[in-house]
Structure 1
């Protein structure tokens, strides 16, 4: 339960979604007739080889790209551009260097017209949630990569989205920081009960964080697959079922 109550929904419906780009004068089909349903509060990971359309799908869900055909619905309403019910976190946190941690996290609320005092009160809550209460006066140049990404997560959560979209948010971190941040993301998702859709190249990360994994194929004639991750939380990476699921997912990409 959060300190700031909202009506959380965040159901995503994708119907017959197709998206293509023109590259070197040729039409490149990235997504074709995709069907997808994401339930409220679900954690979905999207994996697949480079060029399969992972980030393109996330950008369409965010309203940053328009599909060629088909539709995306949020709680039954068509997506038409960006919306306050969705927040996106990129691999780079993209913090404003002239603002402190508190200023960066409160920025989105103040832009929306929320008074500074109440914006900073809410920002402090989420700064504490991501474990940076002692760093609210620090500037981005004084933060490690993992800390900066925590600020980005806090900033996204402060506007209280129904849906949190993450595009390789931990891809630039070192191995130990990445594991810590995976645990933090899992904890935050459980506490906030927000719908989370995560693009990642890390198959173990997908299993650790997601309820289901959407596997997008490289070959356009192949059909995307949804894999249920029926493992208890918090997840144990050394558990036999976890190891077997990781091995099975790696086999999808010929990595075994």
Structure 2
């Protein structure tokens, strides 16, 4: 069981809602007068409704790639499209969840989830009453109906991250981008949140792109794992995770996939 190298000229058919096309993407950062490449000539096609998990050592470009997809960073070269539209900045069709929930501390849970809906501009702006009704729906989805009136300081870390997920889903994005969303949680809460995210992703049928350092988390959540090498002369690789859901972390097949990822990093 090995990962396949990505084709240098990889392409996808005409995009539909929720599909992502990344072509010949490159990004460098200039530090102390020198250019340091982070991503070089990356080509990936992500299917609608797919869960793609990105792994790699520190400095391999995981978060940079996610921020380019979100429109928070600009690539030096290449083309990134979501549902056939070129990414040229942030957009309502993409929602990002960070490691820290970044909730508004002076606003209750319901208000935090409704916040993005109320900010919408023009014809898509949602009236307050409708925004609150929609926010309650997504609070129910993440199991926090009874905490609508609570404030962020009254929540556990896992509950706060659930609020962040509900807020992101409330704007009904085509793409859900997650940067180490459970990295700050304890081991038991992390497993619970992985289970919850799998359930929510299945129910909402949203395309999901998630960055993690946890290889077990990658195997548990991914349809495919994108392995970004720190050494830029090496090609990125993709590993298909052909396991039924819900996934059994103790199964021999699950262990083999985790070991295949360890081999990608020379750790096994």
TM-score between the two structures when normalised by the length of structure 2: 0.92
1:162 is displaced (CA, Å) by 0.4
CA distance in 2 between counterparts of 1:127 and 1:9 reads: 25
In the aligned structure 2, how far is the partner of 1:248 from the partner of 1:73? Answer: 30
Question: Is 1:121 equivalent to 2:133 in the alignment?
Answer: yes
- How far does residue 248 in structure 1 lie from its aligned partner after superposition? 1.3
Q: Report the Cα distance in structure 1 between the residues aligned to 2:32 and 2:194, rounded to whole angstroms.
A: 38
TM alignment of 1:209-224, pairs within 5 A: 209-224=221-236
Q: Which moved more, 1:212-221 or 1:109-118?
A: 109-118
Structure 1 residues 89-139: Cα deviation after superposition (integer angstroms, max 9, x where no partner)? 000000000100000000111111311111000000000100111101000
The answer to whether the 8 Å contact 1:91/1:168 transfers is: yes
**Structure 2 residue 251 is matched with structure 1 residue 239:** yes
Quote the residue 2:6 is aligned against.
Answer: none
Instruction: Tell me whether 1:63 sits opposite 2:75 in the alignment.
Output: no
- CA shift at 1:252, angstroms? 1.2
User: Equivalents in 1 of 2:114, 2:263: separation in Å?
Assistant: 44
Partner residue, 1:3: none
Q: CA deviation at 1:250?
A: 1.0
The superposition leaves residues 153-202 of structure 1 with CA deviations (integer Å, 9 ceiling, x where unpaired) of 00000000000000000000000000000000000000000000000000
Q: How does 1:130-149 map to 2 (within 5 A)?
A: 130-149=142-161
Q: Deviations 1:60-107 (Å, cap 9, x if unpaired)? A: 000111110111011111111011100000000000001000000001
CA distance in 2, matches of 1:59, 1:186: 22
Runs of 4+ in 1 over 3 A off after TM superposition: none
- Corresponding pairs, count: 249
Q: CA RMSD in A?
A: 0.8
| Alpha-carbon distance, 1:254 to partner | 2.1
Contact 1:9–1:41 (8 Å) recurs in 2: no
The equivalent residue for 2:7 is none
